């Protein structure tokens, strides 16, 4: 288990100015590695997210016999061996670190392999529910043993062919959907997944780009097994979930104006922009274009007076990872912001509802924790405090943004967990800051 002990002090004050290219999209990088490994031939991933989580997926496929190397330009070159070309991992073990996406998506691939693999994770990942993928994979014929029936380590004994299923996922989750669709490739029939609300659709877009035919009807996606994937050149746009931190910082730090380049604004991911705009945020989408099959644009963000809003269950999957930073924004909004239908946040890298409440409360925020959400009263002046990230990258970055507008210094414990998704966060954050005149 890797637990960081590093602390960071955030000194408040200043505005944000200038432009930045936020880190490449984490979800797309994971999928690009997986689909490339299962294609026949050489794929290139241009501008991949070279951060801990995606390294775990790359390492998983290396141990299954796939070459994943960095070239001189920083692109990753993956030599795929087709759907049926993976080898048994040495020691039959894959370590997924902190990465839920690695564990859940790789499980779908391993379910269709004629060998056994043990998937392990760090302390956080070992306490996140895996029954949501184990259940459909068992229904498809894979043998899966899990601690207490639901937690890692997972022992997956694959079966080929798998049996197709029509799976109704009780939680809207792109990880579950992607896991079942990947396993569906190893069946001899049609496998479908249906969710109550549509989760991010990168897998669907990238399957289509690689030549896999899908049938998509509303929130149901179906795939026929045995289709082959074509090697690609994947181009990864910037991750809106990482862009969210400088974006909210610019909204709440006085006198700010920044440009965030190449941000993926896929409609299944852009809920934060919709909510912030409803709160009065001055965010403009410029130069809307398509990059790697995803809609992207540049975002111009200026300091804005915010008013409270209500965030309900239907939009949660479109801004799931952004709720900690949205909460920081809501502490500065006039009125009472209510976020509901977000119980999923309790099973992320940490219990985000509990920890965002406890730590921002130490900074003077007025937040009430609900079983499935938060009530935030604003605007509230924040004060510097000692807070803990609980080794959750998105919490560390949200607290850094809160610290920017606090009265006094904020000390963030376990701050180097930003390496999970935004390894350059601390440098970028300082680079965008200018002293107020």
Q: CA 377, CA 198: separation in Å to the nearest integer?
A: 30
| Region 20-39 residues binding ligand S3P, contact defined as CB under 6 A | 27, 30
Cα Rg of the chain, angstroms: 21
Q: How far is the CB of 410 from ligand S3P (least distance, A)?
A: 25
Select the residue whose beta carbon is closest to ligand S3P and give its number. 27
14 vs 136 by CB, closer to ligand S3P:
136
Q: How far is the CB of 13 from ligand S3P (least distance, A)?
A: 31
Q: How far is the CB of 124 from ligand S3P (least distance, A)?
A: 13
Half-sphere exposure of 94 (CA within 13 A, CB side): 30
Q: CA 258, CA 163: separation in Å to the nearest integer?
A: 51
Half-sphere exposure of 45 (CA within 13 A, CB side): 30
CA-to-CA dists, residue 435 to 7, 381, 408, 410, angstroms: 23, 20, 16, 18
320 binds ligand S3P (CB under 6 A): yes
Segment near ligand S3P (CB under 6 A); pick from 5-13, 115-123, 170-178, 208-216: 170-178
Is position 264 annotated as part of the catalytic site?
no
Q: How far is the CB of 171 from ligand S3P (least distance, A)?
A: 7
Quote the Cα angle for 97-244-246, to 5°: 110
321 binds ligand S3P (CB under 6 A): yes
Segment near ligand S3P (CB under 6 A); pick from 174-182, 216-224, 293-301, 411-419: 174-182
How many residues touch ligand S3P under the rule CB under 6 A: the total is 11
Q: CA 56, CA 48: separation in Å to the nearest integer?
A: 13
Q: How far is the CB of 174 from ligand S3P (least distance, A)?
A: 3
CA-to-CA dists, residue 342 to 129, 188, 347, 400, angstroms: 16, 37, 10, 23
Q: Which of 52, 264, 321, 419 is catalytic?
A: 321
Segment near ligand S3P (CB under 6 A); pick from 80-88, 151-159, 168-176, 397-405: 168-176
Q: How far is the CB of 140 from ligand S3P (least distance, A)?
A: 19
Q: CA 78, CA 388: separation in Å to the nearest integer?
A: 38
210 vs 253 by CB, closer to ligand S3P:
210
* Residue in the structure block whose two tokens are 């100015």: 17
242 binds ligand S3P (CB under 6 A): no
Contact 125, 103 (CB under 8 A): yes
14 vs 172 by CB, closer to ligand S3P:
172
175 binds ligand S3P (CB under 6 A): yes
78 vs 174 by CB, closer to ligand S3P:
174
**Omega before 379 cis (within 30°)?**
yes
173 binds ligand S3P (CB under 6 A): yes
Q: CA 320, CA 115: separation in Å to the nearest integer?
A: 35
298 vs 349 by CB, closer to ligand S3P:
349
Token reading at 249? 């910082």
Segment near ligand S3P (CB under 6 A); pick from 89-97, 173-181, 217-225, 362-370: 173-181
Binding ligand S3P (rule: CB under 6 A), the pick from 142, 174, 306, 405 is 174
Return all residues near 261 (Cβ < 8 A) that are at least 6 apart: 19, 20, 21, 22, 238, 298
Q: CA 223, CA 257: separation in Å to the nearest integer?
A: 45
Contact 79, 42 (CB under 8 A): yes
101 binds ligand S3P (CB under 6 A): yes
- Where in the sequence numbering do the catalytic residues fall? 321
Question: Which residues of the shown chain bind ligand S3P in the complex (CB under 6 A)?
Answer: 27, 30, 101, 173-175, 178, 199-200, 320-321
């Amino acid at each position: 288990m890797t637990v960081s002990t590093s602390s960071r002090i955030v000194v408040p004050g200043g505005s944000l100015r200038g432009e930045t290219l936020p880190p490449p999209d984490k979800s797309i990088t994971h999928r690009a590695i997986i689909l490339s490994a299962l294609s026949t031939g050489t794929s290139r991933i241009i501008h991949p997210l070279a951060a801990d989580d995606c390294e775990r997926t790359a390492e998983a496929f290396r141990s299954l016999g796939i070459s994943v190397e960095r070239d001189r330009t920083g692109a990753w070159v993956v030599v795929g061996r087709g759907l049926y070309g993976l080898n048994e991992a040495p020691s039959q073990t894959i370590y997924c670190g902190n990465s839920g996406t690695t564990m859940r998506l790789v499980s779908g691939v391993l379910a269709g392999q004629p060998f056994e693999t043990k998937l392990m994770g760090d302390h956080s990942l070992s306490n996140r529910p895996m029954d949501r993928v184990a259940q459909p994979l068992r229904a498809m014929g894979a043998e899966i043993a899990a601690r207490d029936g639901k937690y890692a380590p997972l022992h997956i004994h694959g079966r080929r062919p798998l049996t197709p299923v029509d799976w109704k996922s009780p939680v809207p989750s792109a990880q579950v959907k992607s896991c079942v669709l990947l396993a569906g490739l190893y069946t001899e029939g049609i496998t479908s997944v249906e969710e109550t609300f549509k989760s991010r659709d990168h897998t669907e877009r990238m399957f289509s780009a690689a030549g896999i035919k899908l049938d998509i009807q509303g929130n149901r996606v179906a795939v026929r097994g045995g289709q082959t994937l074509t090697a690609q050149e994947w181009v990864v746009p910037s991750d809106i979930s990482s862009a969210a931190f400088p974006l909210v910082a610019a909204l709440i730090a006085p006198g700010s104006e920044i440009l965030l380049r190449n941000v993926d604004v896929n409609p299944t991911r852009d809920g934060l922009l919709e909510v912030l705009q409803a709160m009065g945020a001055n965010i403009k989408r410029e130069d809307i274009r398509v990059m790697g099959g995803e809609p992207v644009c540049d975002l111009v963000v200026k300091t804005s007076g915010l008013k409270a809003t209500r965030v309900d269950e239907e939009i949660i999957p479109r801004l799931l990872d952004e709720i900690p930073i949205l909460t920081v924004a809501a502490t500065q909004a006039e009125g009472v912001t209510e976020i509901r239908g977000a119980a999923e946040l309790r099973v992320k890298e940490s219990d985000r509802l509990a920890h965002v409440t406890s730590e921002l409360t130490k900074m003077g925020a007025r937040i009430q924790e609900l079983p499935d959400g938060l009530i935030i009263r604003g605007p509230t002046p924040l004060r510097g405090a000692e807070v803990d990230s609980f080794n959750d990258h998105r919490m560390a970055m949200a607290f850094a943004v809160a610290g920017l507008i606090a009265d006094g210094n904020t000390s963030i414990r376990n701050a180097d967990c930003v390496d999970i998704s935004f390894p350059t966060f601390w440098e970028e954050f300082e680079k965008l800051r200018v002293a107020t005149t």
